[in-house]
Structure 1
Amino acid sequence: MKAIFAIFGVLVGVTWASPLLTPLKGYTIVPMTWLGINTTDGLEIAVSGTIQEIQSQVQSMNDSIVWKMSSTQQSIKPRSKKNIVCNSGGDGGADNVFVQQGIDYLKSIKNGPCGAPPGPNKCSRISCSYGAGIFLCNDTPKEIHHDCPDLATYAEDIRSNCHTEGVVTYVRGQQFDTEGFSVVVGHDQC
């Protein structure tokens, strides 16, 4: 019988074993960690990484996955996007095609929050593939959680406003929010 896991995002302050580059000077990167509950036996599991890595880890445990927000998490408060700064974040520009794939992947995660640990100056790499990193950076003293599809819209704004034209289009930038966090898109090793 396949176990069904209820997954909810909870960030845990752990150090990342693989070499992660900080997306912004002076910031520390901490992996996003999700805790899950096996609804068959009630055991708790923990998986860490980008949303792609988390989903892959959970699916390797079992194909029947239900992503679910924790009932203890606060609802998302209304907020506003602020300014975008181009040529900020990552260790250079990320290939536009792979940035779009990361955006699409984040948009596909329904009822699952992406998060970052308490700041200031803490980031979680929420998506990364083929050198295109998307980060959630927190400058508040509280842990933050937002729907992954919502955060994807920040990456879309950066993609629309901060790109270079050429044989390959590269994207690099940072968009701020009134709640004290920002989303960063740029090249990373993944």
Structure 2
Amino acid sequence: MKTFGIFSFLSWMAATATAGYSGIPDGYSLGNVTWVGNITAGGPEVTFTGASFPEIEAQIRQANPNFAWPEHDVSSADKAMLVDHLSCDLPQFYYAVRDKVIDGIDYLRGKTGQCHMDAGPYVCSRISCSYDSAIFWCNDNDTPLTIDCGLWSEYAQNILDECQTDDASEHIKGQQFNVDNWNIIVGYSKC
């Protein structure tokens, strides 16, 4: 009974500590992401904007219920040239659950098109989140940013590969930076 009481107290402490925690670094704000791509064979490019990529995908499927993501892969040469550095030592972040991050990476993998974020600096969009385990895309530029959406899953995968805890908890947090002054963050966010 004492063990249950201690566990309940620790769970309450963790919930209290993370209440209101957005998952982005201090000084950053949350913004929208815009996707530009083709949703019909031979049709024109269209644009959708939302607070997250699942929100954008819902808009795409409303416009074209038969939409399917075409096969897409970012070349390893493109990935290697763009990476600046990766950090797993992020004291300002809480950990995400490894399996839920894998789900987020799988969801983002293969997304095609161009993704756009308004000018920052220091603005992020939560592109994936399930069970309080999030993937953020952040723009540190004071100008708008457009990238290949396929890079999101590649960067998040790098964080997963390098930043998992070495214990049985299977938690993860990390941030990978691009030379063009944007980054991907994996960590806890209430969702």
How far the C-alpha of 1:29 sits from its partner, in A, is: 1.0
Higher strand share: 1
Q: Runs (4+) of structure 1 moved beyond 4 Å?
A: 34-39, 44-47
Structure 2 unmatched runs, 5+: 1-19, 71-77
Give aligned pairs, total.
161
Secondary structure at 1:128 match in 2: strand
Structure 1 unmatched runs, 5+: 1-18, 69-75
Higher helix share: 2
Secondary structure at 1:166 match in 2: coil
2:102 paired residue among 90, 94, 100: 100
How far the C-alpha of 1:146 sits from its partner, in A, is: 1.8
Q: 1:125 to 1:32 in 2, by over 3 A?
A: same
* Cα RMSD for the two superposed structures: 3.2
> Could you tell me which amino acid in structure 1 is paired with residue 57 of structure 2?
Q
Q: 1:45 to 1:136 in 2, by over 3 A?
A: closer
In the TM superposition, 1:1-190 aligns within 5 A as 21-34=22-35, 46-60=48-62, 62-65=64-67, 79-88=81-90, 91-109=93-111, 111-190=112-191
How far the C-alpha of 1:103 sits from its partner, in A, is: 1.0
Cα displacement string for residues 49-96 of structure 1 (whole angstroms, at most 9, x for unaligned residues): 32122213432454123679xxxxxxx9x9420111114387411111
Contact 2:34 2:47 in 1 (8 A): no
Q: 1:88 to 1:138 in 2, by over 3 A?
A: same
TM-score, normalising length: structure 2: 0.70
Secondary structure at 1:103 match in 2: helix
> Could you tell me which amino acid in structure 1 is paired with residue 108 of structure 2?
L
The sequence identity of aligned pairs, in percent, is 31
Q: 1:142 to 1:57 in 2, by over 3 A?
A: same
